[in-house]
Amino acid sequence: MTATTEVSAAAAPLVTRADRGPGAPRPRTRRALVALAATALVACAGVAPAHASAPLTPVTPTPGASGASGASGAPGGAARKEPPAQMSKVGGERLGSPGDQVGAGAPNLPAGLSALSWVVADADTGQVLGARNAHWQLPPASTLKMLFADTVLPAVPHDGSRTVTPEDLKGMGDGSSAVGIVPGGTYQVPDLWRGVFLRSGNDAVHVLAAMNGGVEKTVADMQRRATELGAGDTSVRSPDGYDAPGQVSSAYDLTLFLRQGMRDKDFKEYCSTASAQFPGGPAGPGKDKPFGISNTNRMLSGADGVAPYPGLIGGKNGYTTNAGNTLAEAAQRDGHTIVVTVMNPQDNKRDQVYTEMRALLDWGFAAVGKATPVGTLDQAAAGGGAKAKGGAAGASSGSGSGSGSGSASGPGVLGWSAIGAGAAAVAGGAGWLVVRGRRRARGRNARG
């Protein structure tokens, strides 16, 4: 249980000239190309709108199916995608514009920022100090667990417990990250939340979802909570962030989720915990013996050569093949609380997501009180709120390569959901890998 890696399973999406591997079949006829196009159109038609009126049904991705191993930001991925030309303007006009957005009086942005999307905000005032493609809808990976916590923490009694059944763990994605929950074991709710926050345990998420009335209800509750928070870019398909067709969020929305979480004492306590003891299960070599777990957010835990950030409160990290690395953090300094979200750095250097997060936190503390804000997290102050141009659903009209979500009823960003690709990877990091009732690791390891 000392591993701090996040794990993904990858398989090839539709083969193109750019990503076709050695020996792969090559489409030779117009008929073959038409068949491929038809497949893509059928898959697109099956992607639900960001805010469908009917309850959202959770999707369990096909084991081993692709999430686009050539997706932008994935190790060995394809060339960088371009943001949509039009995005939601919720929170301010400039937040709907592509590219870097900073106000007058702001210090120079750090060099070497490669993330597809990021947001830096003052948690106290709600002012967005700087952003890049704030409303670009991208796969969120385990950072979506922040919305899960915002939704379920108030709903499940904190003094409750659950004796886990195999049914509770049914439907977990292949290769899911897990804290090590064993059917037949009885777990207290605080332990389950530590499993969620520290080990990004999809098993803990599923048990808490069962206590909340089931996965399908929890997905619908999360979508409703996202709407309440003004997070119109977010479409929920799984409670744990495991890649699923149509599941997207944005740096803006994830920043909303973290800021909201900071207002809850339990959320704040769990996300700031670097290590803890987790109860052992009723079977196995460590029967009934607690074991140590450490936080996969290495900027908090200081594991694996990542130095802890001074004043860090905590947050949530994630990784999947489709999402790349995602990270949201909150930190305090000199009476200010800064929240930052970073999505999918394109530079594949080791620990790049932490490097860029550290630089943006420093920049935020240097900018607060000096820079003219470029938007706000308090949407009513922007004069449009959820009805701002661009749509509450955050669905941009999009055009061209990698144009994101398309229309409100269109596919998710990066094109992987548009071609009906299954999930490629795990959401979050863990040492145990639960695959249909047994432990095994699949696919590529990636540091969380």
Neighbours of 104 (CB within 10 A): 8
* Distance, CA of 71 to CA of 80 (rounded, Å): 8
From first to last of the 448 residues of the chain, give the pLDDT tens digit.
Answer: 333 333 333 232 322 222 333 333 333 333 333 333 333 333 333 333 333 333 344 444 333 322 322 233 333 334 458 999 999 999 999 999 999 999 999 999 999 999 999 999 999 999 999 999 999 999 999 999 999 999 999 999 999 999 999 999 999 988 889 999 999 999 999 999 999 999 999 999 999 999 999 999 999 999 999 999 999 999 999 999 999 999 999 999 999 999 999 999 999 999 999 999 999 988 766 677 999 999 999 999 999 999 999 999 999 999 999 999 999 999 999 999 999 999 999 999 999 999 999 999 999 999 999 999 999 999 876 654 443 333 333 333 233 223 333 323 233 333 333 323 333 333 443 333 333 333 333 333 233 3
| Set 142, 176, 249, 403: catalytic member | 142
Sign of the dihedral defined by the CA atoms of residues 281, 285, 287, 293, in that order: negative
Question: Which one from 8, 114, 176, 200 is the annotated catalytic residue?
Answer: 200
> Rounded CA gap, 81 and 216, in Å?
32
For position 282, what pLDDT does the model report? 82
Report, in angstroms and rounded to the nearest whole number, the Rg of the chain calculated over CA atoms: 20
CA distance 268 to 160: 20
Q: Which two tokens stand for residue 400?
A: 């061209």
Q: What are phi and psi for residue 328, nearest 5 degrees?
A: -130, 135
Alpha-carbon dihedral 211, 235, 364, 324, rounded to 10 degrees: 90
**Backbone phi, then psi, for 161, in 5-degree steps?**
-150, 165
Question: Quick one: how far is CA 399 from the chain centroid?
Answer: 24
What's the rounded Cα separation, in Å, for the pair 346 and 175?
24
Active site residue 145: yes
What phi and psi values does residue 108 have, to the nearest 5 degrees? Answer: -60, 140
Cβ contact 380:77 at 8 Å = no
**Would you state the pLDDT for residue 283?**
72
Burial (Cβ within 10 Å: 0-12, 13-18, ≥19) of residue 52: middle
| 8 A C-beta contact, residue 422 and residue 61 | yes
Does the annotation mark 97 as catalytic? Answer: no
Residue 161 is a catalytic residue: no
Residue from 69, 97, 114, 145 carrying the catalytic annotation: 145
* Two structure tokens written together for 101: 């957005």
Q: Which residues contact 87 (CB under 8 A, 6 or more apart)?
A: 95, 96, 97, 98, 133, 134, 135, 136, 390, 394, 396, 404
Return d(Cα 195, Cα 295) in angstroms, integer: 9
Tell me phi and psi for residue 253, to 5 degrees.
-65, -45
Q: How do the residues of the chain divide into helix, strand and coil, expressed in percent and rounded to 5?
A: 25, 20, 55
The predicted model scores a pTM of 0.73
Q: Give yes or no for a contact between 238 and 247, defined as CB atoms under 8 angstroms apart.
A: yes
Report phi then psi at 387, rounded to 5: -95, 10
Q: Which of 168, 119, 164, 38 is nearest to 315 (CA)?
A: 119
The owner of tokens 């079977």 is 283
DSSP string covering 70-93: T-TTSTT--SPPPPPSS---TT-G
